[in-house]
Amino acid sequence: MSTNPLLDFNDLPLFDQVQPQHVAPAVESLLAAADVALETVTQPEFPSRWNDIAKVLDTATEKLGRAWGVVSHLNGVADTPELRAAYNEALPKVTDFWTRLGSDERLYAKYKAIDPASLNAEQRQAHKNAIRNFVLGGAELTGAAKERFAAIQERQAELSQKFSENALDSTDAYSYYAGEEELAGLPQDVIQAAKAAAQAEGKDGYKLTLKMPSYLPVMQFAHGTALRERVYRAYVTRASDQGDPKFDNSALIREILALRQEEAQLLGFRNFGEVSVVPKMADSPQQVITFLRDLAARARPYAEKDVGDMRAFAATKLGIQDPQAWDWSYIGEKLKEERYSFSEQEVKQYFTAPKVLAGLFKIVETLFEVTIRRDVAPVWTPGVELYRIERETREGDRISTELVGQFYLDPAARNGKRGGAWMDDVRARWLRPDNGQLQTPVAHLVCNFAEGVDGKPPLLTHDDVITLFHESGHGLHHMLTRVNERDVSGISGVEWDAVELPSQFMENFCWEWDVLRHMTAHEETGAPLPRELFDKMLAAKNFQSGLSTLRQIEFALFDMLLHTEHDPAQDFMPLLAKVRQEVAVIQPPPFSRTAHTFSHIFAGGYAAGYYSYKWAEVLSADAYAAFEETAGKNGLPSIETGRKYRQAILEAGGSRPAMESFKAFRGREPTLDALLRHQGMA
């Protein structure tokens, strides 16, 4: 193998050239170089100076991080048995290195010896985070405790990866080939996609799957109770003891929880919840639990009314006297259609993917004073696009264009791609200590939308549009940063419970008429979204917001109690049942196993941190209220407020505590009022 694409750091990753056989040699080579760097900077004679350490160690670990990022990304969006095997073979070695690095007492001593007065403000924040992370990484442990801590990290990485694989494989493994008569009520484009999927396999009928573009429309629109029940049951029992035993995540969950508890105790904490909040805005698990219960109490009356309305409607209009779990989405959709006289299906015709994207770019360009253009680079599959964000700067009469950042957009659902939507970084903005060059940030924006049918552009639901705006908010946080210190630039170093602020903030624009009308065009006539239809959507915006708030709180409270009050030796299902008794107004059936695919907390970094979504919603609603207060007569957001938001929050990245950034923008601490008002619960 003459050249390994994973070892090419000249510019963007060579995604189209990476093969499974490249993984092992690249990882070996980069780990060896990182080990040499670690040994070099920890020698007694090596100076305890920030830039000297960064020049040797950070440049080596950054390459390792970037190459492994490429492998992890491909594992998430283009999974094959060969790539999975290569990834799993390298994972323990990579995990071991990061664990050793984070707990190396010699390196910890070097960092403690750095004089903070010798650092600039960005470096001081990065230094403070580094000291904290050494403590959480086990650097103060010795002997057997240190060895056990390292073993726990490695085992947790294996278990999380296996959890993720089981969730993906159990989702991919399911298909049901329905007859035409079973599809009554389903949208035409969903029926066409199901037919095309069956034909592609040389089968008769219509292929339904548990991927969102197929599953959700069945639950919302299929008239047949039997079909809804069949698909619902398959969906809520994925990767559990209720399905194929080879995908069952039960034992993995128990072991993950036991290891987290042990890790917490090794570090001197009572439970993992306490470990989790150390680098977050929240002060303690108890503060989080109180926050969630307070919000639940405020939302509950609205949720109870939501359910009462649905029960009455189901009985009188749909002839459903005793609604089951698989009926609620259908009842909710039908009630919404009657109450607001429109359906998601009708709305979808106006949101063609290219038009939505153009609208998103327009708002970003206007609000944040940048330009977005198509760019070219190798990609992992057709349909992935690369864009560049640029800013014009004027000095006297001279105008120059500066590259701010770049991002890949991977919108379509497909086999071998894990579900959901996410943003990830390819590389961070960094004034490189090795060559003095400014490295620009690059991000991934990944969604799982339905593909276009019969050569037409894909149609997005309004929820899809919100998802796209959400992930782009994360991307902008990463790419618009002006911080030059890698560990606190962009999303790096931002408290986990504040990291959702910029993403949820962007969602608000999906409800602004002056923004929305520019990003719609009917798939056949090209006409923009009618104002009348928008007004109905707006009226329906907070339809069942009480219910959806309680659903998020149910997940968040279960997560926090699981990591604070639960004994890992016990079965976790009774705790889930107890939380549902406390919070939910609709009780799921006993066979429902949502915990078994709760990838956020078992495979995604949100352990004892799922509350972050609700916590950050308070911040984002309050931040958006600043735009409502300063909107122009035309209803368009104020450029001045946009500039202030960009500078105070997006450009600052993780270079200071999130509360300081929020106060720099709003002039005060956040309050709950805007969130409750936005969700119709004030």
Alpha helix segments (H runs only) across 400-512: 462-479, 501-507
Distance CA 596, CA 165 (A): 12
Report, as an integer, the average pLDDT of 248-265.
98
| Boundary residue ending a domain (97, 118, 139) | 118
Kindly state whether residues 102 and 229 are assigned to the same domain: no
Kindly state whether residues 30 and 96 are assigned to the same domain: yes
Q: With respect to residue 27, please indicate whether it lies within any of the assigned structural domains.
A: yes
**Which H or E run includes 439?**
strand 438-439
Kindly state whether residues 371 and 486 are assigned to the same domain: yes
Kindly state whether residues 100 and 178 are assigned to the same domain: no
Kindly state whether residues 105 and 215 are assigned to the same domain: no
CA distances 661 to 261, 484, 664, 670, Å, are: 33, 17, 5, 11
- pLDDT at 633 (0 to 100): 80
Token pair for 187: 């949208």
| Boundary residue ending a domain (214, 236, 258) | 236
The beta strands (E) that lie in 473-558 are given as: none
Q: What is the pLDDT of residues 55-105, one digit of tens each?
A: 999 999 999 999 999 999 999 999 999 999 999 999 999 999 999 999 999
- pLDDT at 290 (0 to 100): 97
Kindly state whether residues 395 and 484 are assigned to the same domain: yes
User: Do residues 368 and 391 make contact, with C-beta atoms less than 8 angstroms apart?
Assistant: no
Q: With respect to residue 414, please indicate whether it lies within any of the assigned structural domains.
A: yes
> Of the candidates 307, 302, 342, which has an alpha carbon nearest to the alpha carbon of residue 328?
307
Kindly state whether residues 187 and 108 are assigned to the same domain: no
β pairing state of 442-449 and 398-412: parallel
Report, as an integer, the average pLDDT of 127-148.
97
pLDDT class of 632 with cuts at 50, 70, 90: confident
Report, as an integer, the average pLDDT of 122-151.
97
| Boundary residue ending a domain (236, 262, 287) | 236
Residue type (1 letter), 593: R
User: Do residues 589 and 324 make contact, with C-beta atoms less than 8 angstroms apart?
Assistant: yes
**Length, in residues, of the chain:** 682
Burial (Cβ within 10 Å: 0-12, 13-18, ≥19) of residue 395: exposed
In the chain, the number of structural domains is 3
Distance CA 309, CA 312 (A): 5
Kindly state whether residues 97 and 220 are assigned to the same domain: no
Active-site residue flag, 582? no
Domain that holds residue 472: 353-493+501-529
- pLDDT at 2 (0 to 100): 62
Q: With respect to residue 159, please indicate whether it lies within any of the assigned structural domains.
A: no
CB atoms within 10 A of CB 511: 16
Kindly state whether residues 511 and 377 are assigned to the same domain: yes
Give the bridge partners for 371, in sequence order: 390
Tell me, what CATH number does 426's domain have?
Answer: 1.10.1370.40
Report, as an integer, the average pLDDT of 225-231.
98
Q: With respect to residue 439, please indicate whether it lies within any of the assigned structural domains.
A: yes
- Which of the following is catalytic: 274, 451, 471, 651? 471
Q: With respect to residue 329, please indicate whether it lies within any of the assigned structural domains.
A: no
Q: With respect to residue 366, please indicate whether it lies within any of the assigned structural domains.
A: yes
Kindly state whether residues 59 and 190 are assigned to the same domain: no
Kindly state whether residues 109 and 193 are assigned to the same domain: no
Tell me, what CATH number does 99's domain have?
Answer: 1.20.1050
Q: What is the pLDDT of residues 521-569, one digit of tens each?
A: 999 999 999 999 999 999 899 999 999 999 999 999 999 999 999 999 9
Q: With respect to residue 623, please indicate whether it lies within any of the assigned structural domains.
A: no
- pLDDT at 1 (0 to 100): 47
Distance CA 556, CA 560 (A): 6
Q: With respect to residue 298, please indicate whether it lies within any of the assigned structural domains.
A: no
680 Cβ contact partners less than 8 Å away, ≥ 6 residues apart: 302, 541, 542, 545
Q: What is the pLDDT of residues 9-51, one digit of tens each?
A: 999 999 999 999 999 999 999 999 999 999 999 999 999 999 9
Average per-residue pLDDT in the chain?
96
Kindly state whether residues 74 and 192 are assigned to the same domain: no
pLDDT class of 201 with cuts at 50, 70, 90: very high
Alpha helix segments (H runs only) across 206-249: 212-221, 225-236
pLDDT class of 637 with cuts at 50, 70, 90: confident
CB atoms within 10 A of CB 565: 12
Token pair for 91: 């994972």
Distance CA 473, CA 401 (A): 23
